[in-house]
Structure 1
Amino acid sequence: MGLGEIVADGLEDEAGFAFEPESSSGPGQAGATSLALTVLTVDDDLEFQRSLKLALANFEFQSRPLNILSVGSARDAARLLAATPDVAVIVLDVVMETDDAGLRLVRSVREVLGNAEVRIILVTGEPGVAPMRQSLGALDISDYWLKTDLTFERLHGVLTSNLRTWEQIRALSQARKGLQTIVEASNCLARARSMDDFSHRVMIELSRLLGVEPEGLVCVHEYGIGADPRSARIVGAAGRLSYAISQDLGSLDHMPVRDMLLQALSKRCNIDGELSQVLFFQGAEQGPHAATYIATGRALDPTERELLHVFATSINSGLINVSLTSRLDRLAYEDSLLEIPNANALLRALQSVLEMPAPRNRTVLFIELDQYSASCLSLGMEQGDLMLRKMAARLRKVFPAPVMVARLHGDTFAILGQTALLHQNRVDELESLDLDDPQHSSFISVRAARVDLDIYVGSPRGVMAIGALLLRRAQLQKGAGVIDYQPVLEQEANQRFTRSRDLYRALHCREISIELQPQVNLQSGRIIGAEALARWTRSDGTRISPAEFIPMAEANGLIVLIGNQVQHMACQALQRLRQSGFTNIPIAVNVSPLQLARRNFLHELIEITQHYQVSPDMLEIEITETAAMADYEGNGQVLRSLRDAGFRIAIDDFGTGYSSLAHLRAMPATTLKIDRQFISEIGATAREHTIADMIIGLGKRLKMEVLAEGVESEMQTTWLREHACAQAQGFFFARPESIDGFLQRLARSA
């Protein structure tokens, strides 16, 4: 029986049911609430909420009851989860206040709250809203069920499985935090702090074991067997001996204590006293060894001595682990080349800062070298390593402790410190400071970005992701100084993510279409061709500008799929033109560098034309000048293969790139398209004709057709005609239109 049937059969008379308050407990159940596992149900369907409570009323997991919390919206759930981090399982509806409210809550839980432990079970009554395969692949969720499929048994099975998984993840998380504590205790260079923490734990655990006040000291002998035990260092002390920290054991002025410790280290054994005890920890064969003195104030009975023996054995392993973890700490948290903290160390430090209450007064400054890649390519990796070492030395000089300097990867560094210390002047100093030759400082250009942790909300990894994004922006905005983080940046990123997802959906829902913009012969006025332009019209009729979705598609790779669809639609349009009697009107399609770089591009294009029985010479391939020249050898070979197969080749936006005339002459292009910015200058500047006139002359000499783009006025048309430009397109002649509108225009023209 499904949960929907439970509602129908069991809740027809709503007044006939009253749920027991979750905080109450029967006889013999005192403390059950503290053992209860918390399950949160998020659904705006009250009937479904009640059916869930009824189905789980007597459910127990490993003899532990459930504490069921219920809210009716994703917004309320987010607030509750922020205040209640120990929720074990969320049963979450996909569609609530919005169609994707549940999916957005999942991202908020994982990315904003940083809760990777809670198990999320998606349920929906509208399966088409969030398909199972896509949702499971894109989001960190555990299960996805239709509400109608959740029977009693299935619900209990799913909940049991997820609670078991939650307990395992919780246990692993707690173990991981314990390991992190050990690593932090040993510190990155096995300095005194790691042994201090070790000694502190020894003193606390010993005093707790014996029921006495912490009174004693811990000394560590770093060297192997046979070394003088007097050189052992006192790393921890409590009570009357606290003054002795950091002394050598041989310098300790308390003779009875010193002698007992020297005897333990020399004989490598425990020493029993009437009012005190010394435990020896052998450690590894080559050190370190340790000995602990504790004042008991009384004689120990045989049971306590046996407990101390077990304790010493356990601590001996701990001492070895401290030594090992200090080495692991170097590997995990120190950059091996520069011997400074690495990305893991920064993440750990960021976690500590973000857990502080506001105002934190902390900022992360990201630094990236401009010349590193070029230096490595031209002079080799050794020169690149030398540059990194110099930069690390400069960073330590400009940003001394307690500011943290870390290398994230490659030539990217991060500096974490007080906000007032990480300003533009320090970056300027960093570029010019040279410790080796202060009189003749070598300049190192850097890009810089800054994230104020008092206005940032998110995870440590989010800080690093934002830093990388800001550095890319700094690369585009050369000379803009330090780029500062603004919260709107994440909103823009979320909008781009949402729009990118919508574009992916639009491709599969056939929301992408083409419009044809006529190309005319300037002498006769006849339409001699058309350019196919991609258009995105959403299901509600709203249109998204190509200036918005084409760059997005190029960034996320969807341009390949869009280009393929445009080629199919262009060939379909050629079919209709042929059927209507217009057999000599070619159509041009734009091809991105990503498409051109595909190994099977030519083969796929030929297959498309054969499928629609279109002659290759009726399909013109347009590639921008920049793309054509960026990889001249690779792209040139592909374009030659396209030309050999019969396709026309047009160089789009000509004049905006940096063409080599030698390369252009060898390029198998049939058409040069003058970029619209040079056409718009005609009549607007004193030397309006210079570049357009040069391109027209160049096209003639290279025996290519020349087409002017973006023609919008009679004056521009007249000028182009007088200067022997043969072809043009633009709003002056016609705006882009559907294939039906284009056919009507052709009929009128005929």
Structure 2
Amino acid sequence: MGTGEDKAESAADDDRFAFAAEDSQPARPAASHTYSPQTPAILMVDDDKEFQQSLKLALDNFEFQGHPIQILCVGSATEAARVLAANPNIAVIILDIVMETDDAGLRLVRSVREVLGNAEVRIVLVTGQPGMAPMKKSLGQLDISDYWLKTDLTFERLHGVVTSNLRTWQQIRALSQARRGLQTIVEASNCLTRARSLADFSQRMILELSRLLGLDPEGLVCVQEDGIAHDPLAARVVAAAGQLAHAVDRPLGALENSPIRDSLLQALTQRANIETGTSQVLFFHGSDQGPHAATYIATERALDPTERELLHVFASNINSGLINVSLTSRLDRIAYEDSLLSMPNANALLRALAAILEAEAPRGRSLLFIELDQYSASCLSLGIEQGDLMLQKMAKRLRAVFPAPTMVARLHGDTFAILGQSALLRQDHINELESLDAEDPTHPPFISVRAASLDLDSYAGSARGAMEIGALLLRRAQSRGAIEILAYEPELEAETSQRFTRSRDLYRALHGNEISIELQAQVDLRSGRIIGAEALARWTRPDGTRIPPGEFIPMAEANGLIVPIGRQVLHLACQALERLRAGGFPDISVAVNVSPLQLGQRNFMQEFIATARDYRISPELLEVEITETAAMGDYEAKGQLLRGLRDAGFPIAIDDFGTGYSSLAHLRSMPATTLKIDRHFVSEISANSGEHMIADMIIGLGRGLDMQVLAEGVESQEQAQWLLEHSCMQAQGYFFARPEPLDAFIQRLSIVHA
């Protein structure tokens, strides 16, 4: 196969493919042809309409074997894929490499060969960019018939290229239809591993050659997978039939039959076919990088000229198939094998799982998901190499605990899956994983895992859905600190589906102004007067249904909608402060909750300050409320941001204090003005008089740090009185007021402050 660059040198003086100006081109009526369903077609794929039209004109009166050829034109690889899928009689594709993307043409070639499984159509690559020309290695591996620069395609060359490729297509088509045993290479490689795909391809080759010649199958195929530089006697026998069947998986040098061994050795050494009166040895040169193959067929007679010609045509197409099966075997390994651990990957598991799910229950199979506990920490502290070592250790343990035919696959990162009989995927095997070292059973364990299982008899979804459920189960196991296998429950899918639907509804609610706020009064325990309020987000559907914050706030944090929701709550809080000022309550402050995701936004502080300024809100009336965990996470960055807000005059409150993991040193330097005692500690005050130690400690801590202390969740006079007696001067809770709309809050202020 020559490239356009190679051919351009030898054709430098040839006439170029020139076009007459429009006014000098005589008008011709469009050709009118009737095409049968068997009429071969040429598909032109090029986004250059002028070049496409030029090719059509050049082929306007072209005939193949006395019949006109159908010409189809599309402008992109995407359109071409659709046309190819719908038209099985496309014989030749004239394909531009660069279209919607730089590699659109080559990706279409892969799609034709590997996805559509079409090994018959001939592909001629063309390009208007000479820099794309030196691609011999890739083009050879992708089964390309020819490659030309557009400027080198003269009228005669174009006709010659089309005629040659139509003839090749016709031969492949005829042999494919006549010899039913030939299957597409991509189909074989998609369902077999690399070794088996070569063996399967080779076994079929023996059968088809025997059928072509009217013989009983008697022969073998040996393959040099690494090219001709290696010893031919090391070539591996990958397929055999008849009395030679015992030779499979043995090197050629171990073959006992000396005449057959010598003929195959001669073919591999001389890179040529060898014919005797009783046998044929065909050499298939493959590509330059291999594999090379030699096939021995016992004929027991000399072949006549017709049989030799058929054999020659058949062999020329087998060589192309050998290249493709080698390439697709490599692609299959890349697609279905984990390169680090040399075990099946997620794609391989999906393929095997889909096959099991196609069968009716009971299947007696389960899917076990395994996740390492220390992998991320190990990579961070000791480096990726240590992480890889841990994965390799776990892979050995998994193979030892779950031997074949149980399938062990690495899904991603530190997550594995085991597909096998339900009775074999037990908790004791998980325990064994944590204690077993395949290299040194006496070595103490250093790997701990989380596990989740999915009984495929109780599951009715897709293979991909099963993988998603496994990931969800592992997250649940992590959040719950589960030490036993977390089992799948059918209700989980309904719950997940409901959350997904609710998440979409929340997105629409945010843009449909269904998110509002309610204000919960904050009270001075000494005077009983309302000094401020906390703005709480509420979701009310158009039909009046209210979604509890405990449902939609975690969902918003999970899908990122908490950021726009927080922004909207801030605007609503500023509008409330405007109303309060206009209603005669200019000193009432409003606190807004700020999520960690909001704090992580690059321009959060600037936007917060600008919003307050736009509404002409005094900063001391707009309190920023963050959780203890959010305040202490990434302390340096968060501390700097909060100090900026504090310097601008905004009060800072630490919410749910006592439930996180504060460093007292950090807390002392944190620019907070208020500590809010979590409702859990307030509830203990009335439950048992001896269970108020933490609340008392927080009050003392706040006083020592010169901060205001506000108690949340006050529900009784007893709690309020205790707090007052212990110097906590501010509180909020149902005892004073429930969260309420702004109008009701203003009315409450009017009554309390009358």
Task: Give the TM-score, by structure 2 length.
Answer: 0.73
CA contact (8 A) 1:183 1:329 kept: yes
Post-superposition CA distance 1:590-632 (Å, at most 9, x none): 1111111112112212222222221111111110111111121
Q: CA deviation at 1:490?
A: 1.7
CA contact (8 A) 1:522 1:727 kept: yes
Q: CA deviation at 1:240?
A: 4.2
1:183 aligns with 2:189: yes
Whole-angstrom CA distance in 2 between matches of 1:194 and 1:397? 27
1:381 aligns with 2:387: no
Which sits farther off after the overlay, 598-607 or 432-441?
432-441
Whole-angstrom CA distance in 2 between matches of 1:747 and 1:416? 68
Query: Equivalent residues in 2 for 1:231-250 (5 A)?
Result: 232-249=235-252
Give 2:598's match in structure 1, choosing from 595, 598, 602: 595
Give 1:270's match in structure 2, choosing from 269, 273, 277: 273
Aligned to 1:160: none
CA contact (8 A) 1:589 1:620 kept: yes
Whole-angstrom CA distance in 2 between matches of 1:594 and 1:286? 53
Post-superposition CA distance 1:87-140 (Å, at most 9, x none): x9xxxxxxxxxxxxxxxxxxxxxxxxxxxx99xxxxxxxxxxxxxxxxxxxxxx
Aligned to 1:668: 671
Q: CA deviation at 1:694?
A: 1.2
1:614 aligns with 2:608: no
Q: CA deviation at 1:287?
A: 5.2
Whole-angstrom CA distance in 1 between matches of 2:225 and 2:730? 85
Corresponding residue pairs, total: 592
Aligned to 1:399: 402
Q: CA deviation at 1:279?
A: 2.0
Aligned to 2:438: 435
Whole-angstrom CA distance in 2 between matches of 1:457 and 1:176? 34
CA contact (8 A) 1:403 1:416 kept: yes
Query: Equivalent residues in 2 for 1:38-77 (5 A)?
Result: none
Which sits farther off after the overlay, 267-276 or 454-463?
267-276
Q: CA deviation at 1:520?
A: 0.9
Whole-angstrom CA distance in 2 between matches of 1:601 and 1:701? 31
For residue 550 of structure 2, give the secondary structure of its aligned residue in structure 1: helix
Whole-angstrom CA distance in 2 between matches of 1:562 and 1:474? 29
Whole-angstrom CA distance in 1 between matches of 2:313 and 2:241? 23
Give 1:516's match in structure 2, choosing from 513, 516, 519: 519
CA contact (8 A) 1:220 1:234 kept: yes
Whole-angstrom CA distance in 2 between matches of 1:519 and 1:275? 103
After superposition, the Cα gap between the structure-2 partners of 1:506 and 1:205, relative to the gap in structure 1 and judged at 3 Å, is: same
* RMSD between aligned residues: 3.2
Query: Equivalent residues in 2 for 1:3-402 (5 A)?
Result: 173-175=115-117, 180-184=186-190, 187-188=193-194, 191=195, 193-221=196-224, 225=228, 232-249=235-252, 252=255, 257=260, 260-274=263-277, 276-284=279-287, 288-296=291-299, 299-402=302-405
For residue 728 of structure 2, give the secondary structure of its aligned residue in structure 1: coil
CA contact (8 A) 2:373 2:450 kept: yes
Aligned to 1:504: 507
Aligned to 1:627: 630
For residue 371 of structure 2, give the secondary structure of its aligned residue in structure 1: strand
* AA in 2 matched with 1:280: F
1:453 aligns with 2:456: yes
Give 1:551's match in structure 2, choosing from 525, 550, 554: 554
1:724 aligns with 2:727: yes
Whole-angstrom CA distance in 1 between matches of 2:691 and 2:268? 93
Whole-angstrom CA distance in 1 between matches of 2:118 and 2:733? 64
Q: CA deviation at 1:354?
A: 2.9
Aligned to 1:735: 738
Aligned to 1:12: none
* AA in 2 matched with 1:301: D
Aligned to 2:705: 702
Post-superposition CA distance 1:299-334 (Å, at most 9, x none): 533232112112222222333444444444443333
After superposition, the Cα gap between the structure-2 partners of 1:205 and 1:358, relative to the gap in structure 1 and judged at 3 Å, is: farther
CA contact (8 A) 1:334 1:342 kept: yes
Q: CA deviation at 1:370?
A: 0.6
CA contact (8 A) 1:185 1:195 kept: no
Q: CA deviation at 1:718?
A: 1.2
Post-superposition CA distance 1:446-500 (Å, at most 9, x none): 0111222333333333222222111111111213411122222221111001101
Whole-angstrom CA distance in 1 between matches of 2:389 and 2:288? 38
Whole-angstrom CA distance in 2 between matches of 1:458 and 1:437? 41
* AA in 2 matched with 1:493: T
CA contact (8 A) 1:185 1:197 kept: no
CA contact (8 A) 2:407 2:420 kept: yes
Q: CA deviation at 1:295?
A: 4.0
Whole-angstrom CA distance in 2 between matches of 1:297 and 1:174? 40
1:711 aligns with 2:714: yes
* AA in 2 matched with 1:175: G
Whole-angstrom CA distance in 2 between matches of 1:631 and 1:225? 60
Task: Give the TM-score, by structure 1 length.
Answer: 0.73
Which sits farther off after the overlay, 564-573 or 279-288?
279-288
Query: Equivalent residues in 2 for 1:404-415 (5 A)?
Result: 404-415=407-418
Q: CA deviation at 1:369?
A: 0.8
Aligned to 1:474: 477
* AA in 1 matched with 2:387: G
User: Structure 2: which 5+ residue stretches go unaligned?
Assistant: 1-36, 38-69, 71-81, 87-109, 120-183
* AA in 2 matched with 1:632: Y
* AA in 2 matched with 1:537: T
Aligned to 1:526: 529
Post-superposition CA distance 1:247-301 (Å, at most 9, x none): 5555556566556545544544333445543322233557543322334466533
Q: CA deviation at 1:231?
A: 5.0
For residue 647 of structure 1, give the secondary structure of its aligned residue in structure 2: coil
| % identical aligned pairs | 69
After superposition, the Cα gap between the structure-2 partners of 1:176 and 1:703, relative to the gap in structure 1 and judged at 3 Å, is: farther
Q: CA deviation at 1:725?
A: 1.2
For residue 214 of structure 1, give the secondary structure of its aligned residue in structure 2: coil
For residue 317 of structure 2, give the secondary structure of its aligned residue in structure 1: helix
After superposition, the Cα gap between the structure-2 partners of 1:225 and 1:609, relative to the gap in structure 1 and judged at 3 Å, is: closer
Aligned to 1:145: none
After superposition, the Cα gap between the structure-2 partners of 1:649 and 1:218, relative to the gap in structure 1 and judged at 3 Å, is: same
User: Structure 1: which 5+ residue stretches go unaligned?
Assistant: 1-30, 32-61, 63-87, 89-116, 119-167
After superposition, the Cα gap between the structure-2 partners of 1:255 and 1:630, relative to the gap in structure 1 and judged at 3 Å, is: closer
Whole-angstrom CA distance in 1 between matches of 2:543 and 2:683? 35
After superposition, the Cα gap between the structure-2 partners of 1:535 and 1:637, relative to the gap in structure 1 and judged at 3 Å, is: same
Q: CA deviation at 1:551?
A: 0.7
* AA in 2 matched with 1:742: F
Whole-angstrom CA distance in 1 between matches of 2:522 and 2:351? 61
Q: CA deviation at 1:173?
A: 4.0
Q: CA deviation at 1:362?
A: 2.4
Q: CA deviation at 1:564?
A: 1.0
After superposition, the Cα gap between the structure-2 partners of 1:310 and 1:576, relative to the gap in structure 1 and judged at 3 Å, is: same
CA contact (8 A) 2:279 2:300 kept: yes
* AA in 2 matched with 1:245: V
Q: CA deviation at 1:169?
A: 9.0
CA contact (8 A) 2:185 2:324 kept: no
* AA in 2 matched with 1:502: D
After superposition, the Cα gap between the structure-2 partners of 1:180 and 1:433, relative to the gap in structure 1 and judged at 3 Å, is: farther
After superposition, the Cα gap between the structure-2 partners of 1:414 and 1:730, relative to the gap in structure 1 and judged at 3 Å, is: same
